[in-house]
Structure 1
């Protein structure tokens, strides 16, 4: 296997022009100015972690989109589409569905509980052990997958365009830039810069899509005649190596639920909303924007399958498209879009990881800390986590592909967490001991599945594995509950036998509910059109 960094260092992509560098510098200056303006607030812990619970719909929606459409997405989606086809876009439209349903049923409860972190709900429903378990796992995923993956993807593309760069120092430089302004400005700095970055991402991706589509004379029929039919279908056969239909049915909803509901770095924007209506409207905007990657990132990758047949690694599709087809100035805008994606992902994950560490681990042990002291510790932990992510990022070069690295890791770790979360959220039967034993059992089973895959004992697609792990964890949790119940009399007044308290859930207005249903119908129409 050829490492992506080796391909980059061989100079397979042409360098940028003076105009491109000017665009990049202009973008960098705007980001720095915006961060300095926000950092003047000297935020306390509530401002640092949740922007004072004052975020509006537009900021929430654009920030959700920008933080999710990371450099890993810009690199991973076109690469996967080039190699396997547009079925990779199922991750995107499924995200819209999960985000809308979560905004309708889950987020109002979160806001009513005045949560700072998602794992807090596990303590309210179960006990502190479940809170620490979810928080610790989320911390691991946030730094090792999200932050390090974004740094790696960004470094890869910068190395392809700027001669003389090497992987580790480039990752470190990007981590330092994002880490400093995240530590200074907190969530408000993160979401405000995300708004700028979302606009840069959308504009840059749209321009590149139009330029690439020009190679097909702006004709859909011409594109269909030149691209293999399998590359233009969302729903793939059961033996498809990229994303079989069964994985889309049982695996993606599980992964999507964890990512869009339980993942702190996504949920933090919703937790910082000024109301349930603001959160729901922001989620609607993000859900609508999540339908665009099919056209702006996935289809260009599928078109590249007809344009490039000499690539050695799928991760180089996006930079190759920029190099081959983007004129001077536009190439700089596209690389600025990449930098925007890096910053929006790294700042988001660093801020959320710091929040998890301080609120779920430090504060319970030191409850008398002032908000200013917590904010100081939050800044220190942000820098420490930044250093760890920068050190780990170069190791991703040893994996066969960035998208596979991210999705497969989530598929083995997230399903047991999602299973126990949903069981506790909707069922009165599950107690804290059963939940803890159930999630541990689920992760033991997932470890067995993972080792079996590495040793060649099975070749079950990881999305199908995700669905199986979810079901097996539910079964294990119920089995543990049955074992615990033997010979024990439990009354419904027992605190451990109550569902999550929904009495203080903030209501969502009827027009917002109608908008959510409308977007769900639009998503269904999109899927049917590319079935």
Structure 2
């Protein structure tokens, strides 16, 4: 195995053609975009296949290609915990939160939080979402794409590549809105899944079969469950940090949930989420195991995040590797375009329309486009700084572990217990999130200073946040309008009523059947690789 990157004219040609087509085709499906519902939610007409593919494309960005394969190389398959846990989280989502999101017909999750609590919580969460979109999600996606692109063109600076990717993503996002984004996501997700499958098969063949491929890895590197003292992913952290990170990302993050907010119906939103869950199970084979198997092929890689591009160049035929790398770059821009649409929706609907309700629909769409450009500029400036972190995936998961537990507490405790009031939610958000940022810097950014593993820190943060949330609510009394609050909180009545409605529905149309099938499939994989 050479590990050398030799680009050919055929690869470059395929690369350019695919990128051009993947940018132009979605514009033909952009819709009229005459009002905010058209532009930001695709007229609320998305079907379940589009939703499922878009959820995967938004998540399976270059950060998955580069980050998951790199983590598989550096620490083994235990990183799959973030993927299989997603299936459990999506089941919780479709039972507990999605019905209330769609019933309230909100544009954004901060808007929903405003209905559950008050305007203060809405503004606080909208501000955090914008921060996360630019400094966590978009910056990571741009950095991952730049790492892959430098495989092709190593003489380009990281910043120049980041700017180029941002422009590539921004152009059709500004023009096309969420409808164009969803079509682009479907194209990218399909190619990503096919490309990952091809790389997995080829690396298995090159390694000489399953036994030889796994021989270079240690027992811990081939296990999903690691000891409690493990530095990267201790097993108690699965039920603390991994679960909390996932609950935030998949169920309370505007970037991801916006796809389901545009669902044609609750059923389409649920089926799309379950479909995405089944595709997430395949990530072990598409991204993580190729990185782990590469230990035997490239035992001394300086940068684990280069393992997937290295495999692509060494194993894929000329032309196909150009397509694969183009798909990787396109996957990055698909994630970026999703983030841009999310950021522009937040600014437009949570700030502009909230404070200036008389703003015309045309003006709202234009403001959303201007916001897209602004968010791109901020992310471009921050993205190159991620090179200072040990690994991309480590950066993503550690920063989330410190800042998102208060959000999970506010959403889930609030949806399950009507007694939680607006003051408690606001204090929890504005007090605990900045505190999380502070401890992230102290524990993770300053060298050799981490006194506690970040997944354990997430559990502690959630416990403190829940105590603050419940304590303030008990001390200051119930919400002023309990009747309104009960309309956006879960009760067993919903389950009983829905059970009656589903009676007689064929199994293949019953989302509960598919949710159980998803959980059983997950359990089988976890048991096999535990």
SS at match of 1:99: helix
Asked whether the 8 Å contact 2:125–2:429 carries over to 1, the reply is no
* Distance verdict in 2 for CA 1:154–1:93, change over 3 Å: same
Deviations 1:251-275 (A, max 9, x none): 2111111000111010000000000
Asked whether the 8 Å contact 1:61–1:286 carries over to 2, the reply is yes
2:316 aligns to what?
326
Asked whether the 8 Å contact 2:124–2:429 carries over to 1, the reply is no
SS at match of 1:460: coil
**Which of 190, 199, 213 is the matching residue for 1:208?**
199
* Distance verdict in 2 for CA 1:309–1:224, change over 3 Å: closer
Aligned equivalents of 2:4 and 2:35: distance in 1?
45
1:529 aligns to what?
528
SS at match of 1:119: helix
Deviations 1:264-317 (A, max 9, x none): 010000000000000011011100000011011000011011221221121111
Aligned equivalents of 1:492 and 1:391: distance in 2?
44
2:167 aligns to what?
176
Higher alpha-carbon deviation: 328-337 or 498-507: 498-507
Aligned equivalents of 2:479 and 2:252: distance in 1?
29
Quote the offset at 1:460 in angstroms: 1.8
1:3 aligns to what?
none
SS at match of 1:106: helix
**Which of 97, 112, 116 is the matching residue for 2:103?**
112
Quote the offset at 1:175 in angstroms: 0.4
Aligned equivalents of 1:325 and 1:250: distance in 2?
38
Q: How does 1:151-190 map to 2 (within 5 A)?
A: 151-190=142-181
2:471 aligns to what?
479
Asked whether the 8 Å contact 1:442–1:476 carries over to 2, the reply is no
Q: After the TM superposition, list the runs of 4 or more consecutive aligned residues in structure 1 that deviate by more than 4 angstroms.
A: 454-458, 490-499, 501-510
2:58 aligns to what?
67
Asked whether the 8 Å contact 1:13–1:319 carries over to 2, the reply is no
* Distance verdict in 2 for CA 1:325–1:379, change over 3 Å: same
Q: How does 1:364-379 map to 2 (within 5 A)?
A: 364-379=354-369
Aligned equivalents of 2:419 and 2:23: distance in 1?
51
2:461 aligns to what?
469
Quote the offset at 1:337 in angstroms: 1.9
* Distance verdict in 2 for CA 1:237–1:47, change over 3 Å: same
Aligned equivalents of 1:376 and 1:151: distance in 2?
24
SS at match of 1:16: coil
Higher alpha-carbon deviation: 476-485 or 288-297: 476-485
Aligned equivalents of 1:308 and 1:12: distance in 2?
8
Question: In the alignment, is residue 307 of structure 1 matched against residue 297 of structure 2?
Answer: yes
**Which of 15, 22, 27 is the matching residue for 1:36?**
27
1:192 aligns to what?
183
Structure 1 unaligned regions, length at least 5: 1-10
1:391 aligns to what?
381
Aligned equivalents of 1:416 and 1:85: distance in 2?
30
Work out the number of aligned pairs and report it.
516
SS at match of 2:335: helix
* Distance verdict in 2 for CA 1:447–1:169, change over 3 Å: closer
Quote the offset at 1:492 in angstroms: 8.1
Higher alpha-carbon deviation: 322-331 or 269-278: 322-331
1:500 aligns to what?
488
Root mean square deviation, CA, Å: 2.2
Quote the offset at 1:100 in angstroms: 2.2
Aligned equivalents of 2:88 and 2:474: distance in 1?
34
Quote the offset at 1:329 in angstroms: 1.5
* Distance verdict in 2 for CA 1:352–1:342, change over 3 Å: same
Higher alpha-carbon deviation: 364-373 or 457-466: 457-466
Asked whether the 8 Å contact 1:138–1:263 carries over to 2, the reply is yes
Which TM-score applies when normalising by structure 2?
0.93
Asked whether the 8 Å contact 1:439–1:477 carries over to 2, the reply is no
SS at match of 2:226: coil
* Distance verdict in 2 for CA 1:81–1:269, change over 3 Å: same
Quote the offset at 1:159 in angstroms: 1.0
Which TM-score applies when normalising by structure 1?
0.92
Aligned equivalents of 1:353 and 1:491: distance in 2?
30
Aligned equivalents of 2:430 and 2:301: distance in 1?
42
